[in-house]
Amino acid sequence: MARTTDSDLAPHELRVLVAVADTGGFSAAAGALALTQSAVSHSVRGSERKIGAVLFERGRTGARPTPAGEAAVAHARRILRLLDVLTAEARGAARSGAAEGPLRITAFRSAALHLLPPALQRLRARHPGIEPRVRIVREVGRGTAGEVADGKADIAIATLGGSAPLPPGLVASGLFEEPYALVHASGHAAPRSLPLVDWAENCGSHTRGWWAAQDWIPRATVEAEDDGAVLSLVSAGHGMAIMPALSLSGAPASVGIADLGPDGPTRQVGYVTTAELAGSTVVRALVRELRATVPQDVSLPGGQAGARRAKL
């Protein structure tokens, strides 16, 4: 039988690392874990000695992970989550294979509003033992996939196909490909002449090539916080926007939607999880429900250029 060595970190040491990172200090971590501050300090020093690297920068305002600490904490979160899954899956197997336990989901705003609700409704009906927990994260920078890489989520609804490579240890699969459309106030005779309303999440590397080739698209004169604000500004006549199908679900009648044609931009929406959790019953259960809801629930209003299932 394999034995632990002096260099192995125990689960309680991993929990301390995560708590220090989450709370920003040794004292706050001690309070969260019901330990003394000296016990937390001793545990962190022991972990640093075993790993051979400084994991936190100590200062008057608290403790901040070093690059080595960020990597260690991300792995610690993922390992602790696997221990939780081990317990839940074993209990489920003892109960005729029932899927149960928490499922941490992260999604960008429009997916959380329009894609997740029907999938979660089906998930709860089929698997009442699963406890979904949803966080909405902006799809900029490391985005939703970064939450999975950092061990903060089990599965992310993400936009795929960008220029940045997937973080190590993660796997991705497409769900559907959605078209973009030109959006403007209903009844406007020349919507392409309007100023552009945009938001930071809108144009990733998957649409930049098409975007750069369009001489009729001006620089944005209004930059909104999210796609809901963009839709509201467009509806009120403050400009036009180029938006993907998910963002246009439930668009009011005051908004006109024009197809950008067969050469218009699209984006691929899919899910990202870790290689270890991809086979877990809770993740597999959600993926099944996501795939079952995509064809009916994601399309451009008015029946235009509906979403296409991703080629897998």
204 CB-contact burial (10 Å; exposed 0-12 / middle 13-18 / buried 19+): middle
The pLDDT of 11-35, averaged and rounded, is 94
pLDDT digits (tens, 9 = 90+) for 51-79: 999 999 998 888 999 999 999 999 999 99
Distances from the Cα of 111 to the Cαs of 139, 199, 271, in angstroms?
11, 16, 11
The pLDDT of 4-29, averaged and rounded, is 88
State the pLDDT confidence band at 40, using cuts at 50, 70 and 90. very high
Provide φ and ψ at 258, rounded to 5°: -115, 130
Do residues 115 and 133 lie in contact, with contact meaning Cβ atoms separated by under 8 Å? no
Q: What is the pLDDT of residue 2?
A: 46
Q: What is the pLDDT of residue 209?
A: 77
59, 63, 68, 74 alpha-carbon torsion, rounded to 10°: -170
Q: What is the pLDDT of residue 30?
A: 95
- Is the pLDDT at 39 greater than 70, yes or no? yes
pLDDT digits (tens, 9 = 90+) for 190-239: 888 899 998 888 666 557 778 888 888 888 888 888 899 999 999 998 99
Q: What is the 3-state secondary structure (H, E, C) of the chain?
A: CCCCCCCCCCHHHHHHHHHHHHHCCHHHHHHHHCCCHHHHHHHHHHHHHHHCCCCEEEECCEEEECHHHHHHHHHHHHHHHHHHHHHHHHHHHHCCCCCCEEEEEEECHHHHHHCHHHHHHHHHHHCCCEEEEEEECCCCCCHHHHHHHCCCCCEEEEEECCCCCCCCCEEEEEEEEEEEEEEEECCCCCHHHCCEEEECCCCCHHHHHHHHCCCCCCCEEEEECCHHHHHHHHHCCCCEEEEEHHHHCCCCCCEEEEECCCCCCEEEEEEEEECCCCCCHHHHHHHHHHHHHHHHHCCCHHHCCCCEECCC
pLDDT digits (tens, 9 = 90+) for 261-282: 888 888 889 999 999 999 899 9
- Is the pLDDT at 312 greater than 80, yes or no? no
Q: What is the pLDDT of residue 310?
A: 34
The pLDDT of 179-183, averaged and rounded, is 91
Distances from the Cα of 141 to the Cαs of 146, 194, 226, 293, in angstroms?
8, 29, 15, 28
Mean pLDDT for the chain overall: 86
Tokens encoding 263? 């050469």
pLDDT digits (tens, 9 = 90+) for 126-158: 999 899 999 999 988 889 999 999 999 999 999
- The amino acid at residue 19 is A
Q: What is the pLDDT of residue 63?
A: 92
Q: What is the pLDDT of residue 85?
A: 82
Share of the chain above pLDDT 70, in %: 89
CA angle 271, 274, 280 (to 5 degrees): 90
Cβ count within 10 A of residue 106: 25
Provide φ and ψ at 159, rounded to 5°: -90, 130
Length of the chain: 312
Q: What is the pLDDT of residue 202?
A: 65
